[in-house]
Amino acid sequence: MHAARLLHEAKSIVVLTGAGISAESGLATFRDPEEGLWSKYDPMELATIDAFERDPELVTRWYVWRFARAQDAQPNPGHEALAQLEQWINEQTTCNDDRSFTLITQNVDGLHQRAGSHRVIEIHGSILRWRCTNTGAEKRLDELCFDQTPVPSEHGGIMRPCVVWFGEMLPEKEMIQTQQALESCDLFLSIGTSGQVQPVASFVSFALSNGARTIEINRDPTPMSEAVDLSIMGLAGEILPRVIDAIISFE
C-alpha cells in the first residue's frame, strides 16, 4: 500500500485528526446531523463565546452531554492504529535514526489518549478541563458538580470548558508546538476532517510549502483532496489498521 510505504520511509510524521476519527466510536461529527434533543441546535452556533455568554446554562448542558457521550464511547480501531504507529516510531528511533511523531487533534473528546497516544496536541482544547471565567483557574471535569448549571466557580465567576470556541484564539503553547512540528515534518497525514475551520485547515498547505509529502484519509472529499499527494476515501477505522499492519510488515 502506497500510504504505508510513505509512512515507513518518513522521518518526522505529523498526523491531524478531526471529528471523523471519532465517528466510528459513535460520536457525531460537526457536520453529520445529531439525533434527539440536541438535533435542533447547530454545533457551530453553540461552540461560541457568544452562545455561552447569552445562555451559559444551555452551553454548559451541551458540553456535559457531549462529555457523557465521550465517556461512554470507546476508542475505535482508528484511534488504536494511531497509538500503535506512535509506538512503532518510538521503537524505530535509535541514536542514528531520529524519527518523530506528533498527533494534532481538533477533537476535545480525549479518545486518542484513552487509546494510548501520548504525544497529542489538543489544538482546540479539551472538555475534560474547565476554568473559571474570572480567574482562569482550572479544574478537571471530575472535580466539578453539575447539579447547578452553569457551575459557579470559587472566585465569583462561572466554569467554562477549556475548549477553543469560534472567534477565540488558539492556545499559544499548542500553536508553537504545532508550528515546530509542521516546520520539521516530512509527512503530513490528515484524517477525518472536513478542513473547513481555520487556522487548522491551513496546516496542510503549511506542510506542503515545507516540502512534506501529504496524505488524506477521509470518508468524503474535502478542499484538500486535490492538493495532497495521496487522498484515500474511506473510514478511518477500516483503513488505518490496514496501513499500520502494512508498515510493520515491511520490516
Q: What are phi and psi of 69, to 5 degrees?
A: -65, -40
Residue 211 within binding range of ligand BV8, rule CB under 6 A: no
Q: Which is nearer to ligand BV8, 152 or 199 (CB)?
A: 199
Q: Which stretch binds ligand BV8 (CB under 6 A): 51-59, 137-145, 146-154, 234-242?
A: 234-242
Is 98 or 168 the residue whose CB approaches ligand BV8 more closely? 168
CB of 167 to ligand BV8, least distance (A): 4
Q: How far is CA 185 from CA 2, 10, 190, in A?
A: 18, 9, 13
Is residue 150 within the footprint of ligand BV8 (CB under 6 A)?
Answer: no
Pick one of 13, 15, 27, 47: the residue that binds ligand BV8 (CB under 6 A): 47
Decide: 107 and 16 in contact? Cβ < 8 Å.
no
Between CA 7 and CA 250 the distance in angstroms is 11
Q: Which of 7, 12, 16, 24 binds ligand BV8 (CB under 6 A)?
A: 24
Q: Which is nearer to ligand BV8, 12 or 111 (CB)?
A: 111
Shortest Cβ 68–ligand BV8 spacing (Å):
14
The residue type found at 97 is: D
Question: Using CA atoms, how far apart are residues 12 and 10, in angstroms rounded to an integer?
Answer: 6
Q: Is 12 in the site for ligand BV8 (CB under 6 A)?
A: no
* Cβ neighbours of 221 (radius 10 Å): 12
List Cα–Cα distances, 191 to 30, 122, 195, 235, in angstroms: 15, 15, 10, 9
Residue 192 binds ligand BV8 (CB under 6 A): yes
Toward ligand BV8, which CB reaches closer, 97 or 226?
Answer: 226
- Is 225:216 a contact under the CB 8 Å cutoff? yes
Tallying the residues shown for the chain, one arrives at 251
Cell numbers for 137: 483557574
Report the nearest approach of ligand BV8 to the CB of residue 164 (Å).
5
Which residues of this chain interact with ligand BV8, rule CB under 6 A? 18-20, 23-24, 29-31, 44, 47, 106, 108, 124, 163-170, 192-194, 196-200, 218-220, 222, 235-237
Would you name the residues annotated as active-site residues? Answer: 124
